[in-house]
Amino acid sequence: MEENDHSSWWFQQDGDSKHTAKVVQDWLETNAPHFTKKNQWSMNSPDLNLIENLWAYMDRKVHAKRAKILKDLKKIIKDEWAKVLLEMIKNLYHSYSKRLQQIIDRKGDMSDY
């Protein structure tokens, strides 16, 4: 099997209510071959998904601009996304082993990242 073969991937979400809604869970049960159900994932698990850091960065930048109408919000999001540097993404990637080690050292508790 190829390393990036999608048949080996697992689909997992966090406990946000839009992810845990019955209609979403039912759809995933039917359409996602490797799906981690909401009752299989710890409520207090450390969030290691690097994209969460990027979303938080974008959230701060977009909210700081205080868009008043949808058209402006869309433009702000596109402009801020265009400013995300590859260096920032590389730094997130390279910090991953430190994140894991910190969670191991804390016996599963959240990391500072």
Given the structure tokens 């894991």, which residue do they identify? 100
Amino acid at 3: E
pLDDT digits (tens, 9 = 90+) for 24-77: 889 988 888 788 777 777 665 556 778 888 888 999 999 999 999 999 999 999
pTM above 0.75, yes or no: no
Q: Give domain limits for the chain.
A: 6-40, 51-105
Q: Is 110 left (phi over 0), alpha (psi -120 to 50) or beta?
A: beta
The type of residue at 60 is R
pLDDT tens-place string over residues 74-109: 999 999 999 988 888 999 999 888 888 888 888 877
Question: Do the Cβ atoms of 25 and 37 come closer than 8 Å?
Answer: yes
Strand, helix or coil for residue 29:
helix
